[in-house]
């Protein structure tokens, strides 16, 4: 008879160890909803034992109640969009973060192929303050180099890098990927009528709606001006169309200009499945042609390549 513990016994021991650990340990599913959190994680982030919310709602809770993660920003939703644009895009990520109680954590995120994420944090408050400050400056510079300053989502360099990564995944492992090139309709007239401040509000609103519509694993970034790129790993053609339709509906119902509640805007998009036989740039040109077809057909729609 084998002396090895049964799977159930082993799982019980692992859970007991996690529950007793001072490490902050949590597991999020592919929809970024909390599925497990040990007592240390719940205490640090102000969660009750029976609360299993999404990561976005957890951050909203922390910001609203001034507990857990220290979030210092004048525009929380922009901060959230920026943070989510980096979350879950790599198999492993480590970064440092401070908490409202003055503690300092080294955070790690490990992503499984099915989209579940293991988050583990260790308290590093006792490390020298000047060393922490130096690393925080480094992490801040890393984020700034990959983030669009206006909208908080991925900038041109970062979203094109994510596109290249998915092209490699398609070539190496056959993982399908949908892409969409999006352009806000008649955006010049928005700037002309409501000024650049109004245009900025529309761009931020669209970025927020897109991030709220997309999954954690999806890439979304601003290429420049009013043009955005969406990268959707693991979807098929029908799912790609469904995502764009949901985004159309969200945008059509949005009122991004508080002083002009009757204002509405829309977008046009060209979309298709990433083709491994073409390089990433050629794939981008294909959906760009579909985007022009959507504009020529009357805008406020998407054209999905066959």
Which of 92, 123, 146 corresponds to the end of one domain? 146
In this prediction, residues 3-23 reach a mean pLDDT of: 83
Residues 66 and 141 in one domain: yes
Q: Residue 69 sits in which domain range?
A: 7-146
Residue % of the chain over a pLDDT of 70? 92
CATH code assigned at 212: 3.30.70.270
pLDDT of residue 135 exceeding 70: no
Q: Which helix (H) or strand (E) element contains residue 156?
A: helix 156-173
* Nearest C-alpha neighbor of 173 from the set 116, 91, 107: 91
Residues 208 and 238 placed together within one structural domain of the fold: yes
State residue 181 phi and psi, 5-degree precision. -105, 125
Residue 39 has pLDDT above 90, yes or no: yes
C-beta of residue 284 within 8 angstroms of C-beta of residue 179 = yes
Among 131, 226, 227, 289, which one carries the catalytic annotation?
A: 226
Q: In the prediction, which pLDDT does 51 show?
A: 95
Q: Are 89 and 162 in contact (CB under 8 A)?
A: yes
Q: What is the pLDDT of residues 91-132, one digit of tens each?
A: 899 988 889 998 889 999 999 988 999 999 999 887 756 665
For residue 137, pLDDT beyond 80: no
For residues 100 and 224, membership in a common domain is answered with no
Instruction: Answer yes or no: is 151 within a domain.
Output: no
Residue 10 has pLDDT above 90, yes or no: no
pTM of the prediction?
Answer: 0.74
What is the pLDDT, as a whole number, of residue 82? Answer: 85
The model's pLDDT over 167-210, given as tens digits with 9 standing for 90+, comes to: 999 999 999 999 999 999 999 999 999 999 999 999 999 999 99
Residue 109's domain is classified under what CATH number?
3.30.450.20
Helices 237-252/187-213 angle, 10° precision: 120
pLDDT in tens, 221-257: 999 999 999 999 999 999 999 999 999 999 999 999 9
The tokens for 303 are: 């054209």
Residue 102 pLDDT: 87
Q: Which pLDDT does position 132 carry in this prediction?
A: 59
Residues 269, 142 within the same domain: no
Instruction: Note if 289 is an active site residue.
Output: no
- Decide if pLDDT at 1 tops 50: no
Q: Flag whether pLDDT at 263 surpasses 60.
A: yes
Please tell me whether residues 160 and 140 are part of one structural domain. Answer: no
State the DSSP H helix or E strand holding residue 119, giving kind and residue range, or none if neither. Answer: strand 117-123
Rounded Cα–Cα distance for residues 145 and 46 (Å): 32
- Whether 231 and 249 map to the same domain: the answer is yes
How many Cβ atoms from other residues are within 10 Å of residue 1's Cβ?
3
Tell me how many domains the chain contains.
2
pLDDT at 134 over 70: no
Which of 89, 122, 146 is a domain's end point?
Answer: 146
Q: Does 42 lie in the same domain as 120?
A: yes
Residue 275: pLDDT band (50, 70, 90) is very high
């Amino acid at each position: 008879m084998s002396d090895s513990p049964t799977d159930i016994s082993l799982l019980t021991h692992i859970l007991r160890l996690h529950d007793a650990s001072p490490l902050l340990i949590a597991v999020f599913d592919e929809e970024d909803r909390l599925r497990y959190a040990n007592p240390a994680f719940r205490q640090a982030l102000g969660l009750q034992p029976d609360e299993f919310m999404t990561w976005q709602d957890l951050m909203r809770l922390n910001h609203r109640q001034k507990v857990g993660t220290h979030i210092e920003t004048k525009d929380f939703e922009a901060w959230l969009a920026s943070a989510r644009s980096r979350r879950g895009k790599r198999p492993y990520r480590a970064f440092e973060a401070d908490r409202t109680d003055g503690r300092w954590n080294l955070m790690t995120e490990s992503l499984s192929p099915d989209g579940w994420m293991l988050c583990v944090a260790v308290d590093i408050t006792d490390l020298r303050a000047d060393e922490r400050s130096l690393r925080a400056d480094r992490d801040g510079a890393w984020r700034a180099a990959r983030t669009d300053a206006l909208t908080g989502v991925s900038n041109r360099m970062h979203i094109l890098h994510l596109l290249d990564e998915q092209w490699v995944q398609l070539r190496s492992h056959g993982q399908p990927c949908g892409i969409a090139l999006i352009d806000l309709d008649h955006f010049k007239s928005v700037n002309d009528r409501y000024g650049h401040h109004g245009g900025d509000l529309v761009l931020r609103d669209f970025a927020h709606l897109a991030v709220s519509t997309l999954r954690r694993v999806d890439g979304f970034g601003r290429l420049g001006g009013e043009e955005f790129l969406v990268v959707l790993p693991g979807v098929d053609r029908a799912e790609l169309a469904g995502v764009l339709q949901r985004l159309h509906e969200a945008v059509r119902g949005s009122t991004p200009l508080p002083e002009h509640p009757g204002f509405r805007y829309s977008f046009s998009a060209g979309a298709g499945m990433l083709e491994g036989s073409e390089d990433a740039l050629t794939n981008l040109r294909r959906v760009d042609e579909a985007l022009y077809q959507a504009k020529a057909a009357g805008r406020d729609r998407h054209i999905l390549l066959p």
